[in-house]
A and B are shown apart, each in its own frame.
Chain A
Amino acid sequence: MAENTLEAQIDEWRRYVRGRQVVSPADGDELEDHLRARIEELTDSGLSADEAFLVAVKRIGSLDALTREFAREHSDRLWKQLVLGTSSPDDGGRPRSLLIALGWAVAAAVLFKVPALFGASLEHGTFYAANASLLALAPLAGYLTTVRGTNRRTIAVVTALFALGVLGANLYLASSKDDVSLLTFLHLPIALWIAVGVAYTDGDWRTGPPWMDFIRFTGEWVIYLVLIALGGGVLTGLTGAALNATGVDPEVFVFQWMLPCGAVGAAVVAAWLVEEKKSVIENMAPVLGKVFTPLFVATLVGLAVTIVVNGIDVDRDALILFDLVLVVVLGLIVYGISSRDPADGPGLFDWLQLGLVKAALLVDLLVLVALAMRLSDYGFSSNRTAALGENVVLLVNLLWSAWLLLGFARGRTRFAVLESWQTRYVWVYAVWAWVVVFAFPLIFGFDVSNFRLD
């Protein structure tokens, strides 16, 4: 009886040790032998099996310290195991997750081409424009739920959100005006990405920390996607040139098959790469965030000065551009926050971040003023309303972030408060994105009196 519990405990401990990528199976054997020898000694001296196990585990040391030492000695393993999958297939882990990732990547490619069978065209028509984000992100969500063994309730929620997405993308498609449709195309990916986040957080989506992980995941995912795209660009160029050289027109193959299928597959593979290396190497997005924070402060200040001196032309492109700038800045702020060790006290970088937030606030306010003037002159169009909403959403976030950052830099606020503010605010983005997708076509799509040629 006691013997069985002990074996179960040792098994569990071993699985836990093997979960660390730098501890090879052989190292696991060695450590287990050590653990057993220690337990034998302790039970011989009169301890119960339970007590002996606890003491022996304690004496081996914390797994974090152990992993760190192993990582220092075996840093090569971090890299090799990253891609090559050196562990044998029967002990689960990497090869399994790789197979799952490849499976979903292929599924994504197939799924993306299915509508083409029914006549949907990539170049013409609105089907792909409306549904591309659905086709690309649904397999990603599928991959994340599979690999994480997500519980049924979460799967149901994610499925429902994607079904809602299908509805939002296609319900008003035929009857909407072009600029309203465009807003839907732009906002649906945001709404769906947060649905992917629900899949990622795996049933834990009501609390903050998993969302912070998802924010980190997002940044790493984008970086991997860009790296894969660079490689894919080289491959595409070479393929095109090679086909040309053999006298075959590469256009159909490259543009109808290679690029779209590669892109949706890459979305899944990038997610796999992020998950695989997450625990091992320092994350890249926060590092870039640190590098670019001072540069963006300078850019934003310059932008604000330009706006004050020259005014802004609040047409559609400019609005989207300014929103984009603010979104990137917000991303920088969030990554600065996500990469920070909450235990550290306030430092120079926090003041720099505060500067960034203030500069962004300034630009946001200037854009809002220009927008308000434009609205009072010309009334509410779908684009201006969307821009107004986005700026207000960002403004609220920035204002409160500035307040919290100031409190933190002065040592009055705990850093966790700032984190929790950013993670909870994700829901505001989600709600806003769904509102634009579902309510805007109703409000602006059919109302002829609102029709303006601007």
Chain B
Amino acid sequence: MHIAKDLVAASTTPLVLGILAEGESYGYALLKQVGELSGGHLEWTDGLLYPLLHRLERLGHVESVWRQPATGRKRKYYRITEQGRAELAEQHRQWSTVVDTLRNVWQDNFSVAPLRPATEA
């Protein structure tokens, strides 16, 4: 299934923040997880994840650290910050509203039905 570019772009930040909220991770693992969570439907161009991570770091939502295991190559890990969690909560709230609205529209098949209040994150 193809997902429109704009939609993919809009969902990257909450996805990355959401996965990092579970624990620190690195670029490649993040991509794998997004792939698994979306059942392979959400495909990013690998390289473009990194400028996004750098932007989140500049904004203060994540912080990064280089780790070099005893065996293996050094790798840059990202970790969510408090500010990042706040941002995630905010995005969660906004996305929930959008998703719920859409669901209502589609479930009720365009019939007139009162909107349920958005579930809070």
Binding site for B on A (CB under 8 A): 26-27, 29-31, 33-34, 36-38, 56, 59-61, 65-66, 69-70, 72-74
Report the bound CA distance from A70 to B76 in whole Å: 17
26 contacts between A and B (CB under 8 A): A26-B66, A27-B50, A31-B47, A34-B27, A34-B28, A34-B47, A34-B50, A37-B28, A38-B28, A59-B45, A60-B45, A60-B46, A60-B47, A61-B46, A61-B48, A65-B48, A66-B47, A69-B47, A69-B48, A70-B50, A70-B51, A72-B51, A73-B51, A73-B54, A73-B55, A74-B51
Contacting residues of chain B (20-40) with chain A, CB-CB under 8 angstroms: 26-28
Report the bound CA distance from A36 to B28 in whole Å: 10
Residues A66 and B48 in contact, CB atoms below 8 Å apart: yes
Residues A34 and B46 in contact, CB atoms below 8 Å apart: yes
Residues A61 and B45 in contact, CB atoms below 8 Å apart: yes
SS of B interface (majority): helix
Residues A30 and B50 in contact, CB atoms below 8 Å apart: yes
Residues B47 and A61 in contact, CB atoms below 8 Å apart: yes
Q: Does B2 contact A (CB under 8 A)?
A: no
Q: Does B5 contact A (CB under 8 A)?
A: no
Binding site for A on B (CB under 8 A): 26-28, 45-48, 50-52, 54-55, 58, 66, 73-76
- Write out the residue numbers on chain B whose beta carbons fall within 8 Å of the beta carbon of A74: 51, 54
Q: A33-B27, A60-B47, A69-B47 are in contact. List 15 more A-B contacts (CB 8 A).
A: A29-B74, A30-B27, A31-B47, A37-B28, A38-B28, A38-B46, A60-B46, A61-B46, A66-B48, A66-B51, A69-B52, A70-B50, A73-B51, A73-B55, A73-B58
In the complex, what's the smallest C-beta–C-beta distance from B113 to chain A, in angstroms? 42
In the complex, what's the smallest C-beta–C-beta distance from A156 to chain B, in angstroms? 43
In the complex, what's the smallest C-beta–C-beta distance from B48 to chain A, in angstroms? 5
In the complex, what's the smallest C-beta–C-beta distance from A44 to chain B, in angstroms? 13
